[in-house]
């Protein structure tokens, strides 16, 4: 949220101040007050903001509608629209409030506190669709996920969904074409904490693990060594640097792992599969030691990858 807000304010020449009660957007000609910002995304030259309370101040005696807590603010500081109420959903849920917002290509989708998604018309703020959080609409198809969808990102022509179980089952992410066709799917032993994008890659931040980089086109796990991206068998879990070389460990969910050796410039030297997860890496001259739990350590030659244990 902070990056989207800061970039938009800089480009539009808008000053913003926030407090516990409100946010102020100030230009040379306008000053707009909204309740405190909960989430925001940039859409074209405007900023779409989810607020803690209704984004419009109703006259005294008129009940404020909790559902109207999304507002689009233009580059001149004007309020371009405030989100409409989805009466069809309100009948079932009585009332609701938007909590998060996703900008996916030319789509704008919010997540509400009732466990539903709402798709908004980016030009008017009208609700054009809504559905339960256990699914997501892509290309007119309803994509069912095993757990509630928590994060959404668009990488090129691929939409990436991250769903969390909030249990020992962990999380799952998947990539879909514009028509809803499933390209790939990956499971994790922990929940997915965030999803960001970078060119043709999707970066998944997991609890208790380093960031996992995934190629959005193929679903392959990637690691960056010397400015070069390499496909690896599992998410990168450990790294170490020796004299003129780098070592990367990728741990699988089935208690196996792969140890990779690279030159400084990123060229791969060797690959060594092992039958235990690696919990630490020790580099000492021309020897690399992969430390296992309750098992004999794996020792390899740093130059050739030959086993020395």
> What string of DSSP letters covers 229-289?
EEEESS-EEEEEE-SSEEEEEEE-TTS-EEEEEEETTS-EEEEEEESS---EEEEETTEEE
**Residue 59 confidence class, pLDDT cut points 50, 70, 90:** very low
139 in a structural domain = no
CA–CA dist 172, 284 (Å, integer): 37
How many residues in total does the chain contain? Answer: 309
- Separation of CA 291 from chain center: 31
Residues 8 and 74 in one domain: yes
Strand 107-112 to strand 98-104: parallel, antiparallel, or no bridges (unpaired)?
A: antiparallel
What's the total number of domains in the chain?
3
Region of 308 (left: φ > 0; alpha: ψ -120 to 50; beta: rest) is: alpha
pTM: 0.83
Q: Among 188, 219, 250, give the residue marking a domain's end.
A: 219
Residue 126: what pLDDT? 94
Burial status of residue 239 (CB atoms within 10 A of its CB: 0-12, 13-18, 19 or more) = middle
Write the CATH number for 201.
2.40.10
Q: In what order do the strands lie in the sheet with 298-301?
A: 280-284, 287-291, 298-301
198 in a structural domain = yes
Q: How far apart are the first and last CA of the chain?
A: 49
Count the Cβ atoms, other than its own, within 10 Å of residue 248: 21
Residues 209, 235 contacting (CB under 8 angstroms)? yes
Residue 209: what pLDDT? 67
Residues 76 and 196 in one domain: no
Residues 129 and 165 in one domain: no
**Residue 196 confidence class, pLDDT cut points 50, 70, 90:** confident
CA–CA dist 110, 243 (Å, integer): 49
Residues 10 and 120 in one domain: yes
Residues 259, 278 contacting (CB under 8 angstroms)? yes
129 in a structural domain = yes
| Residue 271 φ/ψ, nearest 5 degrees | -135, 130
Q: What share of the chain is helix, strand, coil (3-state, %, to 5)?
A: 5, 55, 40
Residue 61: what pLDDT? 44
225 in a structural domain = no
224 in a structural domain = no
Domain span at residue 123 reads: 1-133
Tokens standing for residue 211: 């960031």
Q: Among 133, 160, 184, give the residue marking a domain's end.
A: 133
226 in a structural domain = no
Residues 1 and 51 in one domain: yes
206-258 confidence digits (pLDDT tens) = 766 678 889 988 999 999 888 888 999 988 888 999 999 999 999 887 888 99
CA–CA dist 68, 86 (Å, integer): 10
Residue 35: what pLDDT? 81
Q: Among residues of the chain, what percentage have pLDDT more than 70?
A: 93
Write the CATH number for 237.
2.40.10.480
């Amino acid at each position: 949220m902070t990056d989207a807000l800061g970039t938009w304010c800089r480009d539009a020449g808008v000053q913003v101040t926030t407090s516990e009660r409100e946010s102020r957007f100030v230009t040379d000609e306008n000053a707009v007050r909204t309740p405190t910002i909960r989430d925001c995304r940039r859409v074209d030259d405007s900023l779409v903001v989810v607020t803690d309370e209704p984004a419009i101040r109703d006259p005294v005696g008129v009940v404020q509608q909790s559902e109207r807590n999304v507002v689009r603010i233009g580059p001149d500081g004007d309020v371009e629209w405030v989100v409409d109420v989805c009466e069809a959903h309100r009948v079932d849920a009585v009332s609701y409030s938007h909590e998060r917002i996703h900008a996916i290509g030319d789509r704008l989708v919010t997540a509400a506190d009732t466990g539903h998604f709402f798709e908004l018309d980016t030009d008017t703020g009208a609700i054009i669709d809504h559905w339960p959080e256990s699914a997501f609409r892509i290309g007119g198809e309803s994509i069912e996920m095993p757990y509630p969808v928590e994060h959404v990102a668009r990488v090129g022509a691929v939409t990436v969904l991250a769903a969390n179980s909030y249990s020992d089952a962990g999380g799952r992410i998947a990539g879909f074409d514009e028509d809803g066709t499933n390209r790939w799917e990956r499971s994790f032993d922990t929940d997915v904490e965030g999803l960001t994008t970078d060119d043709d890659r999707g970066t998944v931040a997991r609890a208790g693990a380093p960031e996992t980089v995934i190629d959005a086109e193929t679903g392959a796990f990637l690691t960056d060594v010397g400015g070069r991206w390499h496909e690896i068998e599992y998410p990168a879990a450990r790294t170490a640097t020796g004299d003129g070389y780098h070592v990367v460990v990728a741990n699988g969910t089935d208690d196996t792992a792969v140890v990779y050796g690279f030159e400084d410039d990123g060229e791969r030297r060797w690959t060594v599969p092992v039958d235990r997860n690696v919990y630490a890496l020790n580099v000492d001259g021309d020897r690399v030691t992969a430390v296992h739990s309750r098992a004999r350590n794996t020792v390899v030659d740093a130059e050739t990858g030959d086993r020395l244990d």
